[in-house]
Amino acid sequence: MAGTVTGNTLLFNIHSLVSIKAEGLVPEADKLLLRHFRLFPDKDGLQGSKADILISQLRHKDMPCLQRRNARDPSAFQVSKHNGDFFIVFGSIKKPDILIKLSEKIELFYTPKKGCAWRIFDCLVLCIQLALQKKGGMLFHGSVMNQADKAVLLIGPGGIGKSILVLNMLKEGWNYLSEDKFILFDGKAYIFRDYIPLTDYHFDIFPWLYGMMSGL
């Protein structure tokens, strides 16, 4: 059930730039975060007490100024001020689906409900962007390839063909660094995702991909 929460505490440390502590997630969100952030386990738990981002279930019962008036658009949000703190509010009329508290530590609160796992994930990516910006870094929507002392950064909205360029460059001997998203900090690019999503379209225009897949 979406309303059931686990007793797990998840700790992630992204290149020692952003640390995350998540507690009391629904099982679906547990699995989703473990899958998508598998590159960044904080195995020793050294960053848990000073995490940049905290995730937990929303337990605030009386926040009338944080109740959205229009929940028809799931991507809609509003910025509200409550008791001196600023919040980004996503979701429903009676209780926010997601509440992001903007403070020294960024806190993400969620309401357990069906389908909330992907909402938590998407809003966590936003929180990572905000945490990086506070430190002078950025999370980009794009890809990075490198070869010897050269690097190519491909940046732009979805659907413009970045993955096609990445696949072409891989065939030409370039090395994969990150696809879909990457971190830029202090003049260096860092991996954020270690795989390239492929569809039938990619196999149609690049038949040689079948050979690569059969060799795995």
Residue 95's Cβ-count burial label (10 Å; 0-12, 13-18, 19+) is middle
pLDDT digits (tens, 9 = 90+) for 169-206: 988 899 999 988 999 999 999 999 888 877 888 888 88
- CATH number at 150 reads 3.40.50.300
Domain endpoint, select from 74, 103, 134: 134
CB 87 within 8 A of CB 79: yes
pTM of full prediction above 0.95: no
Decide if 207 is inside a domain. yes
Considering the domain architecture, whether residues 119 and 143 belong to the same structural domain is answered as: no
Pair (79, 186) in one structural domain: no
Looking at the structure, do residues 94 and 200 belong to the same domain, yes or no? no
Tell me: do 50 and 85 sit in the same domain: yes
Let me know whether 124 and 143 are in one domain: no
Could you say which DSSP state residue 35 is in?
H
Question: Of the residues 84, 111, 134, which one is the last residue of a structural domain?
Answer: 134
Please tell me what DSSP assigns to residue 5: -
Tell me the residue range of the domain where 156 lies.
138-214
The Cα–Cα gap between 199 and 186 comes to 34
Question: Considering the domain boundaries, does residue 109 fall inside one?
Answer: yes
Do residues 174 and 68 both lie within one domain? no
Residue 143 in tokens: 């890809």
Residue 13 above 90 pLDDT?
Answer: yes
Per-residue pLDDT tens over the stretch 145-176: 999 888 899 988 877 888 888 888 988 899 99
Q: Establish if 44 belongs to a structural domain.
A: yes
**End residue of a domain, out of 109, 134, 159:** 134
pLDDT tens digits for range 93-144: 677 889 999 988 999 999 998 889 999 999 999 999 999 999 999 999 999 9
One domain for residues 19 and 91: yes
Residues 20 and 109 in one domain: yes
Q: Give the chain's domain count.
A: 2
82 and 154 both lie in a single domain: no
Q: Is residue 2 part of a domain?
A: no
Q: How many CB atoms lie within 10 A of CB 196?
A: 16
